[in-house]
């Protein structure tokens, strides 16, 4: 009898893979795909762009402004950041609801950005305070333009 069973192979008992495991893995991948899609959608939204722009303006507030050249550099960075936040290529393309306040802010920002060297020395006397006020106003304009309440 031992000779007869010698060539027979007894199959290994296989454990059945539960269908629930496949459903759980499928659901997990579906949720992961949905989370990635929502994150990319949020990152391309204007609210995220405004959040990043306001954060960068806050970082500019921490930079010491001791010379007129530094104030001009900060003002140019603010102009660039506002263009990003408003999704325009030039600030004169932005249409504000408060046209008088915007034109006042825009003129002060332009005077800091593009003033000549002799005008910079006149600005240098109150540059640090003026730059901080300008940065605060830039954040206010970003909040107003995108209807952000805090």
Question: 3-state SS of the chain: helix, strand, coil percent to 5?
Answer: 75, 0, 25
pLDDT by residue (tens digit) across 62-100? 888 777 788 888 888 998 988 888 888 888 888 877 788
pLDDT tens-place string over residues 40-63? 988 887 778 778 888 888 888 888
Enumerate the domain spans of the chain.
46-146
- For 108-139, how does the pLDDT look when each residue is reduced to its tens digit (9 = 90+)? 888 888 876 555 555 555 555 678 888 888 88
Here the tokens at position 93 are: 């393309």
């Amino acid at each position: 009898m031992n000779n007869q069973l010698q060539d027979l192979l007894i199959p290994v008992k296989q454990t059945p893979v539960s269908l629930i495991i496949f459903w759980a893995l499928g659901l997990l991948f579906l949720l992961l795909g949905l989370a990635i899609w929502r994150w990319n959608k949020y990152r391309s939204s204007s609210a995220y762009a405004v959040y990043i722009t306001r954060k960068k303006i806050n970082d500019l507030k921490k930079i010491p402004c001791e010379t007129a050249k530094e104030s001009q550099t900060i003002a140019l960075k603010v102009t660039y950041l506002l263009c990003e936040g408003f999704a325009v290529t030039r600030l004169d393309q932005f249409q504000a609801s408060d046209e008088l306040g915007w034109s006042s802010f825009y003129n002060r920002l332009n005077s800091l950005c593009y003033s000549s060297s002799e005008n910079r020395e006149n600005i240098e006397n109150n540059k640090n305070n003026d730059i901080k006020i300008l940065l605060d106003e830039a954040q206010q304009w970003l909040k107003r333009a995108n209807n952000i309440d805090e």
